Amino acid sequence: MHGWQLQMWSMHWAGWLFGLAGLVLLVVIVIAVVRALPPPPDLGRQMTATEVLDRRYAAGEISTEEYEERKQRLARK
């Protein structure tokens, strides 16, 4: 091989290596950013009976007496 051909061949592989290294670096950065984000809220989770009762009381849908009675009934279960 001539000197310039060898140089062109080595430049070709160096380009591939730098491109691959850049791609790996990009993937590592994306993974780090995704892991640093807070987890999404659990929108599909069902509320417990106590949570529903607390929410209804806080919203003023039930009286204090009814809240206390239902809370005691739930505690007995």
23 domain residue, yes or no: no
26 domain residue, yes or no: no
Question: Is pTM, for the whole model, over 0.75?
Answer: no
Count of the separate structural domains present in the chain: 1
CA distance linking residue 18 with residue 15, whole number of Å:
5
CB 49 within 8 A of CB 74: yes
Average pLDDT along the chain: 85
Q: 24 phi and psi, to 5 degrees?
A: -60, -45
Is 70 exceeded by the pLDDT of residue 10?
A: no
24 domain residue, yes or no: no
7 domain residue, yes or no: no
57 domain residue, yes or no: yes
CA distance linking residue 56 with residue 70, whole number of Å:
11
Q: What average pLDDT does this structure show over 35-45?
A: 81
Q: Which residue reads 């009675």 in tokens? A: 69
64 domain residue, yes or no: yes
CA distance linking residue 55 with residue 51, whole number of Å:
6
Quote the domain boundaries for residue 55: 45-77
